[in-house]
Amino acid sequence: MTATVETVEGSRVWSHPETGLYAVLDAGGAVRLGRPGQDWTRLVPLVEVTATGHGRMWSGERFIETAIGERLIYQGHETVRHDGVDRTTIRLTDPGTGLAAHVTLETRAGSGCLRARVRLVNEGDAVLRLESVSTLALGGIVGGEGGLDDLTLHWADNDWLAECRWRQDGFRKRVVALSRSAHGHEGRGCFERYSQGSWSTGRHLPVAGLTDADGRAWLWQIESSAGWRFETGEREGAAYVALFGPDDAHHQWWHTLAPGEEFHTVPAVVVHTETGGLDAAFGELTDHRRSIRRDHPDHRALPVIYNDYMNTLMGDPTTERLLPLIEAAGAAGAEVFVIDAGWYDDDAQGWWDAVGAWEPAPRRFPGGLPEVLDAIRAHGMTPGLWLEPEVVGVRSPLARTLPPEAFFRRGGLRVTEHGRHHLDLRHPAARAHLDGVVDRLVGEWGVGYLKLDYNINIGPGTENGSESAGAGLLGHHRAHLDWMASLLDRHPGLVLENCGSGGLRMDYAQLAVAQLQSTSDQQDLLRYPPIAAAAATAVAPEQAAVWAYPQPDHTPDEIALTLTGALLGRVHLSGFLNLMSPEQSGLVRSAVSVYKELRPELGRARPFWPLGLPGWEDEWVAHGLRSRGATFLVVCRREPDNGGAVPAPGGPVRNGSGDTDRTLAVPHLHGARVEPTVLYPPTSDAVVEWDADAGRLTVSLPRGNTAVLIRLDPVAARSWT
C-alpha cells in the first residue's frame, strides 16, 4: 500500500500505512507528525527552526519547541508519483517572519521507510540568520505495556580502527523521568549524538534507533558528510526523535537567508517496523540505501579486489615489489588490483606533506607506472590507484600556485592540519586541478578504480567571505558530491571507493554516489570480526569493503579467520600471497571461489545478527545475510585466555567462557527443514546442527580464533551447491 493524501475530519493531511505515520493539523493549523489515535499535544511540529532573534519556547539542550516551528502554519500540499516513489510536499508558512517551509516526504509502496528533506524560502522582507533546521521531527513514540520504561535506545560509537561499535541502554536510563505533573514543564535535556568537523563518522554513526520488548523498532539515518545531529527525549509522556544537519551550537553553522533566497536541508530517513526488532528495521534501511544510490555495474559484478597496502607494502610500492604480488593476486582470483598510497612518493622528506600533484615517482617505477598498470591488465585484473583528492601538502608546489580562495580558510588565514591544506571544491581552480588529475589517470592510463581517501579532520569548515565555517563545509561537501558524480558521468565504468582513514566518513551522502566504503584500517585480525559483523548497520553489504590479509606466517586457522570475515561483504585481499605455500594459496583460492559463487545473492540480501549486534570484546561474533534463495552466516569464536582475554595482539575479550558451542537464533527459518552446510574453510572441524522446532542453529568450533561460513538451505528450495 502506498502513501495516501486524505482529509479525515479536517485534520489528517498525509499518511503512510507501512510506517504507521500520519501528518495532522492541530487546533492552530500547525502540522505535526505522529501515529494514529494519539493526542496531537504529544507530537512536535513537522519542522523545527531556530534563527537569531527567534529561539525556543523552552530553553535547554533540546532543539525542538522552537518559536518558528510553533508558528509554521499549513498552506497546502501535493503528491507526485515517479518511478515507484510518492513525494508529498507539505507547504508551511511562518506569519511572523514570512519564512516558508516546503517539507518533502518520500515513500515507496511496501516499504517501512520515510525519507524527508526541507526547503526553506525567505518570503519576508527581512534577512533571517538560521541557526538550526530539522529535516524530520516526529513524536508520540511509546513502548508496549511499560510505556517509555519499555523502550531501549541503540546507537553506535565510531573511531579509527574501532568502527561500528553498537551500544544499548534503557531509554529511561538516558532520558530520566522528572515528574512533569509536579513541575508543569518537560525536562531541558535529551539524548543526543552528533558529528564533529569533516569526519562525518569520526565519533558516532549517523544511525540510531529505539526498540520495545514486543519487537517494534524505530531506526533513523541522517545522510550528511558535513555535520549532523539527532536527539531523542520525552514530550507529554511519549518519546520524540528530531534529525538535523549542521547547526550553530555543534558545527559553527549558521546561514544568512536574504529575502527571496532558499536553503535545502540534508536528507534523513526514519524506518518503522512492527515486528522483528532491529534486524527487520535494518533490513528495511538496507533496501532504502540501495534505492537512493546511483546505479552502477559494480553493484552487480562485485569483483574481488586486491589492495597492496594493509599489512603488506604499507605505502611503499615499487615495480619490483608489485609485480610478484600482481601475479599472485591474479592467480588467487582477484579481479581488481589497487596500488595504494606511495606510488607518487619521490620526495626525500616523505610524501605526507608534499602530496597534491599526483604524478608517479620515477625512482619507484623505472619503466614508468603504466608498465605496472599494463602488468595488472595482463593478469586479467582492472588497475586501481589510491588518491587523496581533497588535500594538498604544505610543501607541494600547488600550495603556492593555486589561488588562496581555492583552499579552506578561517579568519582570513589558510587552514593547516597535519601538514596539509584542504581544497574547496566550489572553486573552479580546485575542481579543474582534480578533473585534470582524474582524466589523466583514468582517461590516459586506463585506471578503472580509484580509492578516494581522506586522512585529516579539517575542523568546522571554511569561511568564504561572510559565510560561517559550517556553511562553508556544507557547501564544499555538496560540491564534492557533485564532483564525484561528474567523474562517473565522464567515466561510467570507473569504480570509486570512499575511504576516510578507514570508516570515518561512512555516510549515505557519499555512499549514494561512491560504489564502495572502506570499513576500517584495523590491522589486527582478531579485532576485525566485530567491525566486519556490524558493517552492514552502516553500509549495504555489497558496498562494505572488508580487509582479508592472509600472510605466509599465519596458521591455516588464521588464514581462514581473516578470509571468512570478508565473505559477506566486499572482499579486499591483501597480504604477501606470492610467498605462500601451495596449501596456504589453496585456502585463499578456495575463499575467493566460494565468494564468487555466493556474491549474486549479496546485492539483494538483508543483514541480520543471530547473537545480537556484536560487542567489541565478545568472544562469539556472528552476522548473516538472508535472501530469497538462501541464508548465509559467518560465525567467529575468539579464544579466551586467562579468564577472558584474546591472546596478544588482540587484547582482552569480554564474555570469555571457553565454550566450544554456541546456539544462534534464526527466526525467519523457524519450522523449516534446513540443510546446513559449512562452505568455508575446507579445513574446518566445525559441526552444525539445525533445530527446526526452535528455529535455532548450534555451531561447534572446537578451536579458538576460528571462523566459518555456513549456508542454510531450506530443503524444498535448495538451488545452489
Predicted confidence (pLDDT) per residue in 409-421, tens digit: 999 999 999 999 9
Min mean pLDDT across 25-39, 79-93, 601-615 is at 25-39
Q: Model confidence at 646, in pLDDT bands (50, 70, 90)?
A: very low
CA atoms 312, 317, 320, 325: torsion sign? positive
Rounded CA-CA distance 653/705 in Å is 12
Q: Where are the beta strands (DSSP E) in 236-381?
A: 238-244, 255-257, 262-264, 268-273, 305-307, 336-339
Q: Is the pLDDT of residue 6 over 80?
A: no
Q: Is the pLDDT of residue 83 over 80?
A: yes
Q: Is the pLDDT of residue 65 over 50?
A: yes
| Averaged pLDDT, 349-377 | 97
Taking the model in full, what pTM does it have?
Answer: 0.96
Rounded CA-CA distance 511/671 in Å is 38
| pLDDT attached to residue 146 | 85
Cell (9 digits) for 186: 518537560
Bigger pLDDT: 10 vs 546: 546
Min mean pLDDT across 144-148, 576-580, 629-633 is at 144-148
Sheet of 661-665: strand order equals 661-665, 696-700, 687-691
Kindly state the percentage of the chain with pLDDT values over 90. Answer: 90
With beta carbons less than 8 A apart as the criterion, state whether 325 and 316 touch.
Answer: no
Q: What is the mean pLDDT of the chain?
A: 94
Kindly state the percentage of the chain with pLDDT values over 70. Answer: 95
Q: Is the pLDDT of residue 1 over 50?
A: no
270 CB-near residues (< 8 Å, 6+ apart)? 19, 21, 113, 114, 116, 136, 138, 218, 219, 220, 241, 243
| pLDDT attached to residue 500 | 97
| pLDDT attached to residue 39 | 78
Q: Model confidence at 721, in pLDDT bands (50, 70, 90)?
A: very low
Bigger pLDDT: 97 vs 39: 97
Rounded CA-CA distance 613/168 in Å is 10
Nearest to 64 by CA among 179, 210, 268, 236: 236
Q: Is the pLDDT of residue 653 over 80?
A: no
